[in-house]
Structure formats: C-alpha cells, structure tokens
Structure 1
Amino acid sequence: MTGDLDAFEVTPAYDTLVAWRTAHAGPLQKATMGLRSRVSAEKCAMPKVSQRLKRTPTILDKLKREPTMALSTMADIGGCRAVLNNVDELRRVQRRWEQRDRAVRTRDYIVAPRDTGYRAVHIIVQYDERLIEVQLRTRAMHEWAFMVETVTGRLNVDVKGGRGPDEVQRWFKAVSEAMAIEESGGVVSGTLAANVTTLREQAEPLLKRGWQ
C-alpha cells in the first residue's frame, strides 16, 4: 500500500519536472539565436554553436546530488554553447552578452578554473522568465572537455564532476594547466611537461582497463 502511495506522490512531481523542462525549449531557441547573432557580430572565425535541453534523468540526478537546489533555480536545464577560436574571441562575445540586460550572472572558469581543471565562461541569461546557460569555450577548452567526457563514459564514473580515480583527475588537471599556458602564448615549463607525462603513465592503466 505504501508503494502505491509513493507512486501516486511521485507521478505529479515527475510530470511537473517534465513540463518545466519542456517550457525551456522556446527560451533556449531564443538564447541560441542570440548567441549566433553575437558571434556573427564579432566576426568570429568558424565558430561552432550548439544547444541542448538537459535530459530528464540528468536533471533528476542533479537534484539528488544537490538536495537544497530548487527546480526553478536550476540554471542549466537549457544550454547553448559557442566554441570559439581563441580567448580574445571569447571575451568579445562575453562582453556583448554582459552589456545587455539578458545576462543575469557570469561564472568565469578561465580566471578561476574548477578543481577538475575545467575552463570556460558560463553566462546565465533569461528569456521568457526562464534561465538559460550560455557556455563560451575556446577550441582548446572544448577539446579538453571532450576528452573528459569520453573518459567519463569509458570508466562509467563522473570524472567531469570530480569523481573517479585520483590519478586520472590529477592528469586532466595538469593537462588543462599546460593547455592554458600554451593558449595564452606562454611556454610550458619542463617541470610541468614532465609532470604531465608522469601523470599520464600513472593514469594509463586505469584508462585502459576501467575503474572499479
């Protein structure tokens, strides 16, 4: 009987979640058009613009991981992304967003990368009273993030979210640091280069056989 009650209680909540997710489709389309417009206005070279609605299981997983978060304040149910040629292009597009009242807040993971090494700029914008996350990355940042997502799938553990073997986490963080230096026109020190190689050797067995 308790199971039946739980099912009756959960179903309306699930329906509400699905309806809320669906309500982001139109605002997401507007945000993506706004992103394309800003990228075009800055004459960025061969940008890659994409969009996605967060999948329902992913939304549920995030609510489970962050129990104090309300569905109405989740800012990345709808998200669009521009992959740009370099940091200069990224900053120019960022300024175009921030000069308008669409922008609610900015998270600059270039100035302050996440502990995992993730770098990008996330701008939360608002369309039709819905929050949409605009991600701005350079090609190097996107390449790093793609590698992390690939390994996340291979190991079946949320490496992207900071989980998984320490060896893999340390390697990705060192790689991110080296890529950031090169992207800014600097020279990677011998110490950092050697560290990347050592950490790769430590992580490689885990990357090949998986992690239990």
Structure 2
Amino acid sequence: MAFAIPAASNKAINRAGKVLIDGHSSQEARVQAIAIIAHWRSCHAYPVNTFQATLRGRVKKICDGALVAQRLKRIPSMEAKLRLIHGMQLARMQDIGGLRAVVDTISQVRKLQDKYSDGSLTHELIDVDDYIEHPPKSGYRSVHLIYKYNNPTLSTYNGLHLELQIRTRLQHAWATAVEIIGTFLNQALKSSVGSTEWLFYFKVVSAAFSLLEKTPILDEFSKWTPNRIAQTCIGLERDLDVKRNLQAFAIAANAIISGKTSGNYHLIILNATTKMVKVQSYGVRRLSEANEAYAQAEFSASLSGEDIQTVLVATDTVDSLRRAYPNYFLDSRQFISALARIPKLLS
C-alpha cells in the first residue's frame, strides 16, 4: 500500500485554504489549491489507518457489536469550516482525519474514553470536547478526542491531527437524522443554520434522548419536566410529519449503484438531487487510487451545479459502511425506531 507523504509546508497549506474561501481567486489558482489540499488530506490516511487498528482492538473488549469507521474530511466541509470560524488556518484544522466508534451505552462510551485518556498512547491528547456532559445549543452529543500523531519509529507523519468521536447508537441516530433532513432541505442544520422549526425539533428530541440515557440536557430545557419534553417531541413529530418525510427519503434512495462490494476503502457519492447513491470500493492496496478518485469526484461535483456529496471512508464491510454512515444512504431507520421510546417519558 502506498501512503501519501507530506510535501507542502504549513504556510503553503494555509495559503491554499485562503484561496479556497477567496471568491476572487482565479479558476487556475483554485484548482492548484485544491490539489495541494487533496494531497495533504491523503497524508492523514496513514495515521488514521494505524490509529484505527488499535481502536478496533480496544472497542471489541467493551462492546461486541460496536461500529468502527474512519474517514478523511470532505473539501467542501473544510471550506465551510474555514468560512465559519474566523481566523481558522487549514494547517491547524484538527479533524481532517477522523475516526468514529459507536457503542451501545453511555457506560461503554466512558470506558472507551478512559482507555484513550490514560496516557498509554505515544500520541499526544491535546483536547477533549465532551458534548455529552455539555451538549451545545444544537443538541449534538458525542465525545471528541483530539490527538497529535506521534510515532517514535516513523516521524514522517508526526504532528498531524486526528479526531476520535465516541458516541452511543442513540446519539448516532440523532446526528444521522439531522444530516438527512438537512440534505433534503438543502440547509446546514448540522451547523444550526436553516428551518427554525426543524432546528427546534431536533433540540427537543436531543433533550428527550438525554433523559432516556440519564445524561445532562440542554440548558434551554433544564426547567422543563420530562412530560413536557415528551409531549413537545410528539406534537412536533406530528406537525412536521417527521416519520413520513424520513421514510420517503429512504425509499427514494433505495437504488444503490455499487461498484465492487468488497474492499477496505469506499468512495460514496450521494446525489441529493436525483436521490441516488453510488459506492465504489477499493482494496487495501489501492488507497492511492481511492484518494485520486475522491479528489476527482469532489472537483466534478463542484462543477456540476448539482447537490452532490462525496466522502471516502473505511470500514471492514459494506454493511458496516451503511450502519456507520447511514446519512449518506439516507437511512433513518434507527432514528425512527428511537422515537418510539420517547412516550416512555410521559407521566
């Protein structure tokens, strides 16, 4: 397997990031910037790949049915983050390489978090964002651990950042539903931008899920009774016709055009306009080819004018891929099932 090796300086990467968000840059300058960013992104594949090998071993001891997946951040997502956070420099962005572990319970989240916070890794833990104990205004819940990669025997990739997300299935179902609705509304609900009705709905559902998992709820609902939270969820679910909308999206996306059905790396292309999903899989020795295809798919999407989302992820099987990244398959079944638990909060 041929892993990309860092070639550009941090200054060059930051300049490329500035070109990415500069509306006055020439097409040629933008193409060159994207090429630099795509190569730099692909350099994170080696650290992520070695990190996930340890993650799989650790999580298996905690939760037999856990999902583990990895991904390299989409260039449109990098661009959006650079625009959103004033002063953000691309070379300092901490989630270019990302890993995700989805377990069953809060207790399992904490056990896995403890294993990564005990100082046993050579990599430097530089930040912990506990969005379960302190959920943000959006209602998003997960634990994010930010690492600076440090391999004493191979310094080539040292200094690159990785993000490990640890969440429960309930939290995963919520985040998936937010992205699916956001995709079809063509609104950045994930970033708290868009329909006030849908944003409020997902916040109050987050509060209900927090109650079910016995974790802190959003400050906005701290004085609400469980009964009021549940009744509000049920009423908004009816008013927004949540289940019908989500089920319609899933039906619309049932036609999945697959390339190879096996492989370690999977390039997912979701066309939200036509509601079609294409998956092209690559074996472990074809990582360079997968990264090239990823960059080309993103570039083609930017020129098409259609709402096309692409991402390169890694899982052990295609079935795990669907479960770890259901938002790209418009699969909201876990969320719909979870909604049935909310009436239990009624007194």
State TM-score, norm by structure 1.
Answer: 0.86
SS at match of 1:119: coil
Q: Which of the residues 236, 241, 245 maps onto 1:199?
A: 236
Bigger shift: residues 113-122 or 6-15: 6-15
Instruction: Describe how 1:24-63 pairs up with structure 2 within 5 A.
Output: 24-40=44-60, 42-63=61-82
Q: Which of the residues 54, 73, 91 maps onto 2:110?
A: 91
Q: What do the CA deviations read for 1:64-111 (whole angstroms, capped 9, x no partner)?
A: 333411111111111010000101010011011111252221100001
- Rounded to whole Å, the distance in 2 between the matches of 1:203 and 1:116 is 18
Bigger shift: residues 89-98 or 188-197: 188-197
Code of the residue aligned with 1:85 in structure 2: it is: D
- Rounded to whole Å, the distance in 1 between the matches of 2:146 and 2:181 is 27
Aligned to 2:159: 129
Aligned to 2:42: 22
SS at match of 1:160: helix
SS at match of 2:170: helix
Code of the residue aligned with 1:50 in structure 2: it is: A
**How many residue pairs were aligned?**
202
Equivalent residues of 1:167, 1:202 under 8 A apart = no
Q: Identity across aligned pairs (percent)?
A: 33
Q: Which of the residues 124, 131, 138 maps onto 1:109?
A: 131
Aligned to 2:187: 157
Q: Which runs of 5+ in 2 are unaligned?
A: 1-24, 150-157, 216-224, 246-347
SS at match of 2:26: helix
Aligned to 2:141: 119
Code of the residue aligned with 2:240 in structure 1: it is: A
Equivalent residues of 1:148, 1:159 under 8 A apart = yes
Give the C-alpha shift of residue 52 in structure 1. Answer: 0.6
Equivalent residues of 1:45, 1:85 under 8 A apart = no
- Residues 1:58 and 1:76: Cα distance change in structure 2 (over 3 Å): same
- Residues 1:172 and 1:9: Cα distance change in structure 2 (over 3 Å): same
Aligned to 1:13: 33
- Rounded to whole Å, the distance in 2 between the matches of 1:34 and 1:70 is 29
Q: Which runs of 5+ in 1 are unaligned?
A: none
- Residues 1:149 and 1:8: Cα distance change in structure 2 (over 3 Å): closer
Equivalent residues of 2:62, 2:112 under 8 A apart = no
Aligned to 2:84: 65
Give the C-alpha shift of residue 175 in structure 1. Answer: 0.6
Kindly report the root-mean-square deviation, in angstroms, between the aligned alpha carbons of the 2 structures.
Answer: 2.3
Give the C-alpha shift of residue 171 in structure 1. Answer: 0.8
- Rounded to whole Å, the distance in 1 between the matches of 2:30 and 2:183 is 29
- Rounded to whole Å, the distance in 2 between the matches of 1:166 and 1:43 is 39
Equivalent residues of 2:128, 2:146 under 8 A apart = yes
Code of the residue aligned with 1:39 in structure 2: it is: V
Normalized per residue, the structure richer in helix is: 1
- Rounded to whole Å, the distance in 2 between the matches of 1:169 and 1:27 is 35
- Rounded to whole Å, the distance in 1 between the matches of 2:146 and 2:129 is 8
- Rounded to whole Å, the distance in 2 between the matches of 1:190 and 1:8 is 58
- Rounded to whole Å, the distance in 1 between the matches of 2:54 and 2:89 is 27
Give the C-alpha shift of residue 14 in structure 1. Answer: 2.5
Code of the residue aligned with 1:47 in structure 2: it is: A
